[in-house]
Amino acid sequence: METNPNGDPAPDVPEGDYTEAGVPNFDYVRDRIERRIATADGATELAEGTPEAASLDEQLAERDRAARERLEQIRRSMGN
């Protein structure tokens, strides 16, 4: 029989996804998190392949270019 650090017998851990007290075990929680990450990654991949995503990427690139130009213009006007 296993014992915990203070010498008392360790409680039996029930098989399955939850303890007798209704608490999910580590493996169950890890599996749920991994499934959610995989689902989110898949949704992101699918969304990136749409024409809307390409349009947004182009808009962001144009905004970044305009911001860099404006910053350079401000720097020139300040004499830097």
Query: Which pLDDT value is given to residue 10?
Result: 55
The pTM of the full predicted model, rounded to 2 decimals, is: 0.46
- CA distance from start to end of the chain: 76
Other beta carbons less than 10 A from residue 16's beta carbon = 10
Phi, psi (degrees; rounded to nearest 5) at 3? -125, 155
Q: What is the pLDDT of residues 9-47, one digit of tens each?
A: 655 555 678 888 889 999 999 999 999 999 999 988 888
Query: Structure tokens of 20?
Result: 């007798």
